[in-house]
Every structure is written in structure tokens, then in C-alpha cells.
Amino acid sequence: MRPGARVEKCSECGKCAHSGCKPMVPNFCKLTPEMAIKLVSAFEEAEKRKHAKELEEVERAEKVRRRENGEDEAAAAAVAAAAAANHQATVTDVLATAQAFQTIHLNEIAKQDIIDAAKKAQKEATAAAIAKAAASAASASAAKTTPASFNIPEAVHKNIKLQDFEFLSVLGRGAFGKVMLIEEKATKQLYAMKALKKEFIIKSDDVASAKLEKRIFQKASESQHPFLVNLHSCFQTDSRLYFVMEYVCGGDLMCHIQERKRFSQVRAKFYACEVLLALEFFHKNNIVYRDLKLDNILMCPDGHIKVADYGICKENMPYGMFTRTYCGTPDYMAPEILSQNKYTRAVDWWSFGILIYVMLVGRYPFHGDDENDILEAILNDAIEYPSNMPKDTLSLIQGLLKKDPRSRLGGGRGGADEVKRHPYFHG
């Protein structure tokens, strides 16, 4: 499961997973797809029951509030019952559709369907579309063109609450909570909902980080940026924060490159153009992203991509501003971060160079037996490039992977414009 050194492979069934994800991968070895589906369904039913219990707690609290405020409880109950009855008839069909889209689903048949759909979408991306994306990288106005994969509602919903959505399944879990696939009852639109436990956020002193993520989501959504995951709404209960985001069903680029080993020059350039415009948006809004990697780039059904996960972004970072926080994913971290020196938003261009290298070569440019060896290699080792790498591609990656941020492509005052002027994006 390359690229990446910290990956483990099952000796029985051959499935691969990142070492950090290993505890969350069920042991389905030697099970038939039918039995695996039954087990997954049982897990999802348990999650639905747990979610229903949470909803009951919210509703009880709402009833108490209504009684205290003298509101008409009977009328509210009638409205809720009507909405539930109207929705029940479609839950089965929606869940079936959602399961077919889940990229982390352990049913190999569903997984193959997703991969085949993504491959088909990529083949249908014609040379004209690729040329348009490359031209977009040379023109800031292209960022105003929104792919047809998703449309954010023009009017921001007010008084959004948990009861407005139907829980379908769990897409992933993290230290602070989980990400769920949901359906908005009023529109039948699918979304991804990130539920964060307030208790853990407070204990980990991450309140400021949660607020920052919300602000960045709002900036991306206000512009309806085509290559960033947009926000539908956010709200909270007594115990949790909720971010309702657009649901991007095509999987991340890490998933796709594991199937292909590496991407073609044309495909890699297509993705690079769109990621470049996403980074340009961040930097124009004085934000340093700091977590660019294959895992955070999601594939839309139409073949376009969206950059996700704004958890370690930093605001107020115009050109020349420094910060010192040690963060990021080791394989993508710039030397100045590893040296624990102050750094600028030029670290994003280093990560961009790593990203392009991995897409084209199928492995990371720095190697080692463990994480410490890899970090040491990033600081001290030279990069080996394939002998058949095109001249413009080689020049671009070498410019982005300058260890000195002052001479790094994109590290100057011109920022993204410097990168867009490179011949790679005009060939």
C-alpha cells in the first residue's frame, strides 16, 4: 500500500491500512461479502439506535425548555411526528445509496463500484477539460467557475437543529468524535456531519481551533470555492458541536493512488491545477493550510477534487508573517517546521511539491526505517528523481522542494502567481 512507510498489510486477506487506522479496521478475514455486509449492517443499526437515544435526550431537553417558556408542546409534537412519518418511506433507499458511496466500506463489491465510477469519470475528463484546468492555474478568474458536483444553498438556514437530519451511517471516527453520513429531511440532500465532543475539545484546549475551523469553513462557503469542501451549517447541543458539510463521495486521492500506484502526467497536472487554486485562496485570505496531503484531497463524482480538513490552519498569515507551531503530517512537513524554527506560509508550497512528486512517482521522496529517519532525511538528504521525468515537471518539483524557504518557488511576495507562471502549468 504505497506510498507511505507506515502501512500494515493483513497476511491472510491482503487488505492494507495505515498503522494509525489499524484499530478501526474490523477483522473480516475469510468472511464472504454477504456475511461482511450483514456485520456492517448490524454495526450501523447499533449506531442508529445510539443516535436515536441522543435525539431523545435532545427532545426531552427541548420539551423542558418549551414548558418553561410556555410554548405549545402539542403543536410541536405534531409537526415532529408528521416529519418523521413523511421521511420513513425513503430511509431504506437512501441508506442503500449511501452505502454504495462509502469509500471505506468493507464490502469489496461496493468498493469496486466506487473505484470503477471514479475511473470512468477520470477517463471522461477530456483534454479540453485538462487544458481548461491548466489555464485556470494561470488565471485567478478561473476560481469563480464551480464544478457541477455540488451546489451550496444560496440562503443560509436558520435555527438548524439535530432533528432536521436523518442519521444514515458512520463514515469515520476520530479522537474528538465522528463523521456521519446524514440526510436533510426537508431537501433529501446527503451531507457529512462532523460531531465533536465538547468535553474532549475543552480538555485538549482546542476551543480556539474549533472556532478557527468554523471561520475557515465560512470563508470557503461564502465564496462557494469549487475546490474546497463547503459548509452547509453548524450548530451545537449541550454536549456536542456539529459541522454539516457537503458530502464528497468519491474517496480521497490516497485511496485512488493505491489502486493505480501512480498517476499519469495528465491526471497529476489536472489535480495539481485545482489544488494550486485552493492554496491560492487560503493565502489570499492570509491563511496557511499546513496539512496538504493525499488523504485530505477528496474526489467528486465528476472527477474534480476538493481540499478538506481545516483543523490545523492558521489565520493572520500574510506574506512575511511567521509562526512556530510544530504540526502537520511528517512526510509532507517542510524542513523549517522540523527544525522547529519560525516559518511562513511557504511551508504549503513544500507540501505541494511533495504531493506532486508522490502523484507521479508513487512514493515519498524521503525514506527511512522509522519516522525519525524520515525526518532526518527531509532535513539532510537530496531527492532522487526518475530519469524519465519531463523537464518542466522536474523543474517545478525542484523549485517547490527547495530546503531554503526564501528561494522556494511560491515563497516570494508573488506567492501563487509565481507558481502559476511556471511552464509546467502552460504545457
In this prediction, residues 209-236 reach a mean pLDDT of 93
- Mean residue pLDDT across the chain: 79
Cell of 48: 442508529
pLDDT of residue 349: 98
What confidence score (pLDDT) does residue 61 get?
A: 67
Q: Is residue 84's pLDDT more than 70?
A: no
- Cell numbers standing for residue 224: 462557494
Residue 323 has pLDDT above 90, yes or no: yes
The dihedral sign for the CA sequence 7, 10, 16, 22: negative
Q: Looking at residues 363-392, what average pLDDT do you find?
A: 94
| Interior angle at CA 355, CA 23 and CA 179, nearest 5 | 40
Highest mean pLDDT among 28-32, 127-131, 330-334: 330-334
Average pLDDT value for residue range 353-378: 94
Nearest Cα to Cα of residue 357 among 393, 382, 333, 324: 393
Looking at residue 113, what is its pLDDT? Answer: 46
Mean pLDDT of 305-323: 94
Where residue 410 falls (left for φ over 0; alpha for ψ -120 to 50; beta otherwise) is left
Q: Tell me, what's the pLDDT at 174?
A: 72
Q: How does pLDDT run across 331-341, given as a tens digit for each residue?
A: 999 999 999 88
Q: pLDDT > 70: what percent of the chain?
A: 65
The CATH homologous superfamily of the domain defined by 33-101+150-246: Phosphorylase Kinase; domain 1 (3.30.200.20)
Residue 203 CA to residue 357 CA, distance in Å, equals 38
Question: How high is the pLDDT of residue 327?
Answer: 92
Highest mean pLDDT among 24-38, 48-62, 399-413: 399-413
Task: Give the pLDDT confidence score for residue 49 in this predicted structure.
Answer: 72
Is 306:300 a contact under the CB 8 Å cutoff?
yes
End-to-end CA distance of the chain: 31
Residue 173 to residue 180: CA distance in whole angstroms: 9
Give the residue ranges of the annotated binding site for ATP: 203
Residues 240-258 have pLDDT tens digits of: 999 999 999 999 999 999 9
Note the pLDDT of residue 158.
Answer: 61
Identify residue 87 by its one-letter amino acid code: H
The lowest-confidence range among 55-64, 122-131, 193-202, 215-224 is 122-131
Q: pLDDT, tens digit, for every residue of 143-161?
A: 434 444 444 444 444 688 8
Query: What does the alpha-carbon distance between residue 11 and residue 377 come to, in Å, rounded to a whole number?
Result: 30
Residues 286/320, Cβ–Cβ less than 8 Å: no
Residue 26's pLDDT band (boundaries 50, 70, 90)?
A: low
The answer on pLDDT for 317 being more than 70 is yes
* Type of residue numbered 116: D
Which residues are 234's β-sheet partners?
243
Contact 383, 376 (CB under 8 A): no
Of 366 and 73, the structure prediction assigns the larger pLDDT to 366
Which range has the worst mean pLDDT, 8-17, 314-323, 344-353, 390-399?
8-17
**Residues with catalytic function:** 291
Give the model's pLDDT for residue 152.
Answer: 44
Helices marked H in 70-138: 73-101, 108-123, 127-137
Residue 110: pLDDT over 70? no
Asked if the model's pLDDT at residue 310 lies above 80, the reply is yes
59-65 long-range contacts (CB < 8 A, ≥24 apart) are 59/163, 61/238
> What's the pLDDT at 173?
82
Identify the pLDDT of residue 94: 37
Q: Do the beta carbons of residue 241 and residue 210 sit within 8 Å?
A: yes
The domain ranges of the chain are 33-101+150-246, 253-426
pLDDT value for 177:
81
pLDDT of residue 324: 94
pLDDT at 275 over 60: yes
pLDDT exceeds cutoff 50 at 181: yes
**Domain 253-426 -> CATH class:** mainly alpha
- Residue 143 half-sphere exposure, CB side, CA atoms within 13 Å? 21
363 Cβ contact partners less than 8 Å away, ≥ 6 residues apart? 2, 3
Higher pLDDT, 175 or 345: 345
- pLDDT exceeds 70 at position 360: yes
Exposed e or buried b per residue across 331-341, where buried means at least 16 C-beta atoms within 10 angstroms of its C-beta: bbbbbbbbeee
Q: In this structure, what C-alpha cell is assigned to residue 12?
A: 491472510
Mean pLDDT, residues 74-97 taken together: 46
How far, in Å, CA of 427 to CA of 423, rounded? 6
pLDDT for residue 33: 67
